[in-house]
Each structure stands twice: as C-alpha cells, then as structure tokens.
Structure 1
Amino acid sequence: MLVAAAVLGLYAWSFFSGVKQPNNTLLVADYAAIVAAATLISSFIAYEWTPHRFIGLSSRLIYGLLLVTIGCLMAGTGGISSPFIALWMAASVFAGVFGKQGIIMLFIVVNAILFWQYSSNTLTTNSLMLALLAGDLPLAVGMLIWGHQGDNDDEETSEDKSYHELATQLSQVSGKSEVVINAIADGVIALDSKGSVELINPAAQQLIGWGKQDALGLSYKSVLKLVDGKNQEPDVMNDPITKALNENKQATSSVLSLVTSSGKTTLISIVVSPVGQAGSGVIIVFRDISGEKAEERQQAEFISTASHEMRTPVASIEGYLGLALNPNTATIDDKARDFITKAHASAQHLGRLFQDLLDVTKADDARLKNNPKVVDVVPFVHDIFEGLESKAKEKNLHFIYKPLPEDNVTKEKLNGRRLSPVFYVNVDNDHLREVMSNLIENAIKYTPSGDVVVDVNGDDNHIVMSIADTGLGIPREDQAHLFQKFYRVDNTDTREIGGTGLGLYLCRRLTETMGGRIWLESEYKKGSTFYVELPRINHEDAMRLIEQASIEAENAAAATTTTPISTSTTTLAVPPSLPAIPDISTPSQSAPVGVVTAPPTTPLLAPAPLMAPASQPLVPGRTYAAPNIPLSTIEANPSAFISHHGATRVSPQAEIKR
C-alpha cells in the first residue's frame, strides 16, 4: 500500500510539475500509475473488509499486484538500469513469506522474462548476468529468511483447518445435544456453582410454567419452588439441590412437590447430579409422578381389600382342615390325612401371604402403627430365638444364641471373653419381633446344614443384631436388589424354596419405621449375615420412659373408671350399701419377654350403675355417685344386677345421657 502510494505521488509530482522529458528516469508512465492505483485500492479494501478465512488469498493477490506495479515502474524508467531496481530486490525478499511455492513461482516468472528479453536481443550478456543477479539473489535471501517460516505458516494453516473442522464438529454435536435435551420428556435444568439457571428445556418450562428467557440467570429457588409434605420449603438436609451443590454428590428425592407459577402443587421425582469437579454446577432432572403415585395407591387399595376379603375364607378353610386333622373331631384314614395335611399347610402359607400383603400395603401407605415401648433386646430376641428352635432342630442345624448360649461348648468359648450388657431400645416390639422372626426363619430356611448364629452387640449409641448362617449365600449381583418388593434370588438353589419376595422388603420398611437400618454381607455358597441396627437408649432414659408410661397408664385408668357423668339437673351417686364390682379392665395376658412395662396400678372399685334406689326418690340438687360399669359385666350376670337393684327409677336426664 505504501509503495503504491509512493508511485502515485511520484506520478502526481511529474504531472503537476510539468516534467515531460522522456529521458527522465523518475518519470512514471501512465500505465504504471494505473496499476499502482489499482494496487492501492485493492490493498485498502483487503485491509478493511477481508474475512479472516480469506486473508491468505488476499495477501498473495496484493503481493502480486505490488510486484506488477514495481515491474511496470522499472519498465518505464530504464528497465534493468532503472533506479527502482533496489525496490524490486527489497520486494522480492518477501516472496519467502508465502513459502517455497511463492519463491519458486517468482523465480520462474523473473527468469522467463529475462531470457525472453535476451533472446530478443533486448539484453546483452552482461546485462543479463546483472539482471539475473538482481532478480535471483533476493529470492535466495528470502529462501534463507522465510523458507521455514513459510513451512510453519503452511503447518499453521493446516492446524487452522483442523481447528475449524473441530469447531464445526463441536458445533454439530452441540446442536445434536440441544436437540436431544429438548426432546426429553423430563424437565432438565442446568445450574452453575451459585445455583443460577443456565439451561432449561421445554419440558421443564411446561412443568414449572416459566419461559426460557424469564428463567435464565435467576436463582433456582425462584424458578423451581419445592415444598415438603407439610407444604413448607424443605430444610438443607432434605433439599437435594442444596445437598448436591454443597457435597458434589448425586441426590434424589420422590417425596417433594413442585409449586408451579400458577400455584398448582405437583408431586415430582427429582435427581440432581453434579457436573465435573466441585463448584462446576449441577444438572437437575425431574418429572411428574402424581399419576404414578395415584396408580400405586389404587393398586395398594385393591391388594389390601382383596387380601382382607380373602383372608377370612382362607382362615375358615384352615380351621376346618385343622378340625379334620384332629382325632377328637374327625376320623380319617392315613391317605386322607396326608392329603389334608398338605392342604392345611398350603392354606397356612396362603394366609401368611395375605397377611404379608396387608402389612406391605400398610407400609407403603404409611398406615403402619408405631407404638414404641422400652425393650431389653437380649431377652426379647432370645424369646424369638426359642420359638424358632424347633425348626432348626428339624434340619439338625447348630442353632446358637451368643448372648445366652445353651451349648456348654459355646459357653466355655464365650466365658471370660465377653460380657452381655443390657441393651435398651424404645421401639414398637411388634415391629422388632416381626423383623427378627423373619430374618432368623430365613436363615434356617436357606441353610441346608451347618450353623445359624444370632448375636446382639452394640456401642453407646447403637445396637446391632446379627443373624449369620452357613447356608446358600446370595450372589453379588442380587444383593443390591434384595430388599426390594417382590424380588427373589432366582437360581437352582433357591427355586425349590418357597417365598414371595415380601419378607425382606417388609423388614426394611419396619426397620426404617423404627429409626434403624438393615444390611447384609454375603458370599455365594458360603453363607450370609444380616444386620439390624437400632438407636440405643441408656439406663436413665429407659427408666424415665418406663415411669412416664406408668403415669400415663394410671391417668388412663383413672379416666376410664372415675369420670363423672352429670345431667342438667342432677348428679347421681352410688349408694354406700351397694357392693363394689371388681375391675375387669386390667389385661389378663402378660407382656412379651423383654418388653419392660409399667408396674400394675391398684384396681379401682367400679361404681354402680347410673340409678338411685327405688326407696329413695330423686331429689333435685342431690349428689349421687358417677357410674361406669362395663356393659359386658351386666351382660355376664343380668339376673344378679336386676335382683340386687329391684325396681329402680332412672331419671329422664340420666336415661338420655346413657
């Protein structure tokens, strides 16, 4: 650009100064000025508006126009003897910038022109040698200076091509990823490390009711409003998004609800997965599961209703089959007895199945009752252990309860090495009994021969009950699914053993209801060990809870036996001549072994019925004793009740109250 401008300036000087001598070596020809003007304009356009990908091509074009301009300038000012030959030599050196191809091309053009002039007798031999030196020497210098640089430029050009190809491929992959994300039916939201929304797909926009432009850049708490079952914002421990952002671990939840922009609440399942290293953000995937939960509730209701309705006839069948097997009620031959025995066993199995189904539906619907009581675990589990000992003896298993071993050999091994402290827990004893019974029974069922060892251990905060066997064991691929509903290990060893796949699932739900956890360790063909961990309470807390239960029992007994019943005009009292009726509300059955119950309270005298003696008329304002005789007591001996009281008159107010 500068050379072309200088040529045009020289032409303008000669034009406006009036220098017209043809022998003047500084006189620029008209055609040289025209070429210089074209070079100047092309250079300016290329410098201002050439796209990046065409820079190489435009640079070669401008360099060629520069050489043509200098050549035209030399041709009009004396050729080989032109004073501008130094300008040609300087420009020729830069041919190496364009690599070997540029040097070779210029070498061929220059030498072809010189030899053409020599053949036409335009140049002498001496002039030819001088011209070759002036034309080829700069090219050699350019080769030395720019040769490797040109190769590097070619390599960089190749790298640029690779870069552009890679960028194109990434752009295509990005486009495909966006298409895939937009096609997903689940809501997808990407958050940065600060919890701001970076991406939201159409499914998420439809679920939450926010537009893409409105949601981008906002905090996720403004866009994805989550509430728990109490319609309150979940705390940090229950918020899966906060947990994933803080801990850089995947978090899931299926108990939270989403509040849409219109205020509608929808139950969702949400999975939050971290992206890369900590602080890189998370990906949230969520979907509406309200329909699935409704279907599950309908299925649970159907199973519950069907199980409840079918349990009654099954119980009747079981009862009649039991009567048929009883020699005191029926006489049958041995063949019929065998048939009925098998039918009776099948009926019992069917009854247990219906009961398991009922328990599972209660667990799924959160209808399981939880009445915690203080339990001394060691004798409690020993009671369960003794109840299943007969089944173990039928299979000739070595059945061991470590805290209270009955085998002398086992006692000798444990004595001096181990003490059995008192382990208290505050749990529902029915739940604990069902869990331990199921686990111990499974250990017996799946152990053809060998040992079944039940142990109780723990620390200051937890109690761990373990059931170890030397039975079939569980393959590693099945262990992760073992506590799922209706899941059973399906192989040749277990196929002959009956089961529904509900027992371990129910054990897990019951254990979680008690605030504990259950897990297993197993090796196929070598046996399994199941562990149940429950929170332990110390002796002081146990005594306090027992005393509190005793006070509540006394209050309940007092409330049921001495509650006054008043009328609008008269309060009736028991005449002192009537004998006291003994209290029948005290349960006759003893509590299970290991369950620490409140001490029995002193039975209170049950008052007489709500009546006054026939000889004494009802007097307004007079006080009578408040009655509370159970109806079952009256029904048990109605003649004594009527003969003792004779003809009585009951006030209308009292009759209405009754």
Structure 2
Amino acid sequence: MKTMNQERTKSEELATIKEDLSGAKKYIDDLTNFLPVSFLVVNPLHIILEANPFFVNISGYEEMDVVGFDIEEFFLEKKELKLFKKKILSGRSDKNEIELTFTKKNGEQFPAFVSAFVRKDKKGKVFGYFLTITDITDSKKFNERIEEIVSQKTKELESKNREIAESRLALMNILEETDEAWKNAEEEKEKTISIIANFTDGLLVFDKNDCLNMGNPKAEKFLRTNINNLIGTHLKDLNGSSLVKSIVEVLLKNEAFKKDKKSVAKVKAAHREEVKTGDGQTLEVSAVPIIAGKTSIGTLVSLHDITREKMIEAMKSEFVSIAAHQLRTPLSGIKWTLKMLIDGDLGKISKDQKEILEKTYVSNERMISLVNDLLNVTRIEEGRYIHKPEMVNILDIVEPLVESYKAEAERKGIKLNLETTKKRNLNVAADIEKITLVAQNLLENALKYTPKGGKITFFVKHKVKANKIEVSVKDSGVGVPKDQQARLFTKFFRAANVMRMETEGSGLGLFICKNIIESHGGEIWFDSEENKGSTFYFTLPIVTEKEFEEFKKKL
C-alpha cells in the first residue's frame, strides 16, 4: 500500500511538473515572439531549438534554417566560442557574456554582443540556455569614435583640460538621452499591454489543438470565471458559469473549430452568433482562424457586448410594428374600395377612370405587401414568427409552384424547367405556407432579373449522405456584384445593378427566406457572377415520423 501511495504521489508530482513545463513553454513562446531582441533557445548540446522573429529579421535566416544546428556554425571565433560554451555548462554563473562576430545568411558579418542565460533544473543541473545576439556595429563605431576623441584629448591634456571636461559633459548628455529613449520605449510597451488588457471586447485565444491559450480581463469579466484556471483546457472540456457552457456550444458548431485545420484555413470571414447571459446581457460571439501559410494554427474568439444595440433594435422593431399596423387597416380599406370601384359596384366608370384605378390598385397591393414584409421582419426579430410544421413531400410544394409560373415565363420569353430527383418519397418537416413563400420568392426574383431569351432551371436533389433535400433555382440573369454579395441576406438590401433596372422592392424577401430556412434546420446560400447569372440553394432535412414529432417539440 505504501508503495502504491508513493507511486501515486510521484505520478501527481510528474503531472504538476508537466503542467509547470507547459506553462513555462507558453510564457517563453509569448516572450520570444514579442521581445525586440534576437533570441535563441539552445539545449545542453548547444543545438538550437527555437529562434524568435527578431533573430530571423537581423540574420536573414528563417527559423528552420538554424534549428538543429550547433551555435558554432554562425560565429567566426570558434576557439573563443568553445571556451564560452564550457563556461556556460559549468553553471558557475547564470549569465555569461562575450563579444563575437556573427555571420549572416548572405555572408555579411557584424560584431555581436552575445549573452547566455543558463537554464537549470531544481537540482541545479544545466539543461539548456537562452542566447541573445545583439548587433553592436553602431556601438563599436561609436566607441571607436569616443576612444579617438579621448586619445586626442589626452595628448592635449595639459593645455586643454577644459575641452576634456566639455567632451565628458557631451558624453553624459548622450547617455542621458539614451536612457530617456529607453524609458520612452518601456512606456510604449506598457501602454500597449494596457490597451490589450483594457480592450472593450473579451478576447480568447485557442491553439491549434483547440485548447485555451490566453484570455484578457474583459473576457474574464464576461465569463465570470478565473481565466487562469481554464488555460490549457480543451474547448469541449471548458466549464464554469452557464454562460461559458453556452459559448462552448456555439463555438463547437463554428467553422473555425473544424477538425480539418486545412479546410479551416479557407474560412475567411468571422462567424458570429449571439448568446444571452442570465442578467439580460447579450454577447456577440465571433471566431476566426489564425492562419499561418495555408493551415490554421489557432482560433481567435471575440466576445462583444451588443446589449445596447439589441435594445435599440427592439425599439426600432416596435416602432416599425406599430407603424405597419397603423398602415395596414387604411390600406385594406383602400383596397376594397378600389376593388368595388373597378368592378362597378359603386356605379359605372369610364375606361380611362378604370385604367387609373387599376394602377392605383396595383400600387396599393405593393404597399400592403411591403407592410406585411415589415410585420414579418418584426416578428422574426422578436422571435414571434410562428411555424406550423407538417410532414410534406417537397415535390408537392415545388411542382405546382413551377407549373403556375410557366405562363408568366413564356410571356417574358424565358425558358423555365423543373429537374427533380428520381426518388419521390422526399418528406420534410415544413410549414407549407412559409416554404412555398421561400421557393416563390427565389423563382420570382429569377423571373424578374432574367432577360428575354434567358433560362431558369428549378432543381430538386436528394443529398443521400447528408440525408437532405437540396432545392436550387438557377438563372442566366444579371447576377450580383461580387463586392455586394456578403450583404445579400441582410434587411433592406438591394444590389446596385438591380436598383438600376427596377426601383421597386423592399429588400426584405431574402432576409425572410433565410430566417424561414434556418428555423427549419436547413441552410440557404448562393453562387453568383455579375452579368452571367445566379444560383440560389436551400436545404431541408429529410425526416421520419419520429423525427417529425421531435422537430415539432423544438418549435
């Protein structure tokens, strides 16, 4: 039993040592990356293990050019260096210094001030050292100039004591200026650290293995937990407050945390998602991969407080809702009055009067449609856009819809086709009215922006591996300018080329479509090239009866 306890104690000590080494390595990594000094990490065999960016900058070598080589490879004075290496390993002094000549990658040489800071274990045994290399070319020239001046003044000592005193005074002034410059540099460094520490957004940095590497005080405040207790923890294992768990759930679904780090490197934009705290606060959680070359080496997570923005948005939505409701009643009254006038229910009207009334009726219908869109947007933002799901075959929605638009397509001189999968049993859990609205919106947009002689194809495909239905509408229309594509699913946005063609439109259709599809557990996206056409896609999961019942419970 005693032996087992001893082994357990040793095991715990080893684990503690491992954690200490891990923390020390992270500290050294951060220090070497940001320290404005040429810096090497060397093992007891004098083999270079790491080189910081500043060394790469002054030497011309890349880090992998020097890693694995003896430090002797880069200095001219081999004999002096051998003695210096022995002195380092003797461990008699923690800091050893020497002046040597360093050879750069291009063959150029410069005088260098070399300092070795010995690394020892608890028993005092040397297990390596840090080597700093400082280019003292300017310092040498300066010293040689000073020596020249001193030599000259020494020869004239008897007759020019005053001049020597003045030279000394000038030298002191130079030293004071140097000291002042150093103090200013330190102040700038402290200022930078202070800015990061007081950054208004919370920042979390994860390494390439998705383990938490660091976090700033603002992140600690948001999460209501001690960040230091979470350093080194894998994303999946992070715990603490309920907010931490909510953020972890969001990040696990994020593209930046994919297992395949090469595919993560293709993620260009930060993925954003909102998370509510228990005290009414709302945080926008965004994550973006940190890319080196073509591979992700980590992930930066930002926690941005958008509570105030959400309050303003809610106030705006409330105003829009009130205004829309106030408009809806009189517009409905106008609609039926115009309808009665057009139908002659209120008396006979002339042909010209009927034409004017019909144009007014169409304009009134557009206003009613806009009001309805505004009310739908408000319901979406307030979480009141209710869905009534049913088990439905997607083809029962798509086929009659496409058929109903063939006459209009023919009238405009556009070829409209429907291509469907051979499999007919494609049941999805869907609110028929709203999914029809999505398909109708995409088809109407294609008809609206495809010129005469163009072609529109409506596809329904079965994605077997994903067990999803993919619906797409491909057109040969005007397309979307590349610099405006990122905003296409936002509220009130209409592409510039479309606005030149047609001034009417609310810019709300695709925003509503996106909400409908995502609330059904699907995805919506598009491919487009200006003046060549667009393809809009959306997916819906295929469901069984059991899955359908579970889906209804989530709504």
Q: How big is the shift at 1:191?
A: 5.9
The corresponding residue for 1:361 is 378
Note the C-alpha offset of 1:180: 3.5
Q: Equivalent of 2:283, from 268, 273, 277?
A: 268
Task: Give, in angstroms, the shift of residue 268 of structure 1.
Answer: 1.1
Post-superposition shift, 1:354? 0.7
One-letter identity of the residue aligned with 2:492: F
Query: What is the CA-CA distance between 1:353 and the residue it aligns to?
Result: 0.5
For residues 273 and 504 of structure 1, do their structure 2 counterparts lie closer, same or farther at Cα, with a shift above 3 Å needed? closer
Corresponding residue pairs, total: 372
Q: Please state whether the residue corresponding to 2:535 is helix, strand or coil.
A: strand
Identity over the aligned pairs, expressed in percent? 26
Partner of 1:475: 481
- Which residue among 191, 202, 214 is the counterpart of 1:187? 202
Q: Is the 8 A contact 1:226 1:257 kept in 2?
A: no
Partner of 2:112: 156
Partner of 1:455: 459
SS state at 2:511 partner: helix
Aligned-partner Cα distance in 2 for 1:367–1:226:
29
1:506 corresponds to: 512
Taking the aligned partners of 1:155 and 1:488, their CA distance within structure 2 comes to: 64
Task: Give the distance between the partners of 2:504 and 2:313, measured in 1 at CA.
Answer: 26
Whether the 8 Å contact between 1:472 and 1:493 is mirrored in structure 2 is no
Q: Which residue of 2 aligns with 1:423?
A: 426
Instruction: Note if 1:256 corresponds to 2:279.
Output: no
Counterpart of 1:133 in structure 2 is none
Report the CA distance shift for 1:505/1:218 in structure 2 as closer, same or farther (over 3 A): closer
The DSSP-based 3-state class of the residue aligned with 2:111 is helix
SS across alignment from 1:473 = coil
Report the CA distance shift for 1:241/1:156 in structure 2 as closer, same or farther (over 3 A). Answer: farther
Q: Decide which of 464, 475, 487 is 2:493's aligned counterpart.
A: 487
Which AA in structure 1 matches 2:135? Answer: D
Give the aligned residue type for 2:216. Answer: I
Deviation at 1:432, TM superposition (A): 0.9
Superposition TM-score, scaled by structure 2 size: 0.57
Unaligned stretches of 5+ residues in structure 2: 1-79, 81-99, 114-132, 140-177, 551-555
Distance 2:254 2:229 in 1: 17
- Equivalents in 1 of 2:291, 2:476: separation in Å? 44
Return the offset for 1:150: 13
Is the counterpart of residue 200 in structure 1 residue 216 in structure 2? yes
TM-score for the superposition, normalised by structure 1: 0.49
Equivalent positions of 1:67-216 (< 5 A) are 155-156=111-112, 159-161=134-136, 174-182=189-197, 184-190=199-205, 195=211, 198=214, 200-201=216-217, 203-204=218-219, 207=222, 215-216=227-228
- Looking at structure 1, the residues matched to 524 and 477 of structure 2 have their Cα atoms a distance apart, in angstroms, of 19
Please give the secondary structure, in 1, of the residue aligned with 2:524: strand
Following the alignment from structure 2 to structure 1, what is the Cα–Cα distance between the partners of residues 253 and 390?
37
Instruction: State the Cα distance separating 1:478 from its structure 2 match.
Output: 2.0
Q: What is the rounded CA distance, in whole Å, between the counterparts of 2:431 and 2:253 in structure 1?
A: 34
Matching residue within 406, 412, 423 for 1:395: 412
Aligned to 2:361: 344
Residue 445 in structure 1 maps to residue 445 in structure 2: no
The two structures, once aligned, show a CA RMSD in angstroms of 4.2
Amino acid corresponding to residue 442 of structure 1 in structure 2: N
1:436 aligns with 2:413: no
* Distance in 1 (alpha carbons) for counterparts of 2:532 and 2:281: 48
* Cα 1:242–1:253 shift into 2, 3 Å: closer
Deviates more, 1:241-250 or 1:183-192: 241-250
- Contact in 2 for aligned 1:377/1:425 (Cα 8 Å): yes
- CA–CA distance in structure 2, aligned partners of residues 241 and 287 of structure 1: 19
Partner of 1:388, secondary structure, is helix
Counterparts of residues 445-594 of structure 1 (less than 5 Å) = 445-449=448-452, 450-460=454-464, 461-491=467-497, 494-537=500-543, 541=544
2:86 aligns with none
How far 1:514 moved relative to its partner?
A: 1.4
Does 2:350 correspond to 1:325?
no
Letter of the 1:233 partner, please give it: K
**CA-CA distance at 1:177 after TM superposition:** 3.0
Deviation at 1:204, TM superposition (A): 4.6
Deviations 1:340-368 (A, max 9, x none): 12211110000000111111122222212
**Contact persistence 2:493–2:508 (CA under 8 A):** yes
Q: In 1, distance between residues paired with 2:258 and 2:422? A: 44
SS in 2 for 1:311: helix
**Residue identity matched to 1:155:** P
The alpha-carbon distance between structure 1 residues 209 and 422, as it changes in their structure 2 partners (threshold 3 A), is: closer
Distance 1:439 1:234, change over 3 A: same
Contact kept in structure 2, 1:236 and 1:242, CA below 8 Å: no
**Structure 1 residues 462, 494: closer, same or farther in 2, change over 3 A?**
farther
8 Å Cα contact 1:191/1:281 also seen in 2: yes
- Greater share of residues in strand: 2
Partner SS for 2:246: coil
1:376 aligns to 2:332 (yes or no): no
Deviation, structure 1 residue 286: 1.7
**CA–CA separation in structure 1 for the residues paired with 2:390 and 2:370:** 28
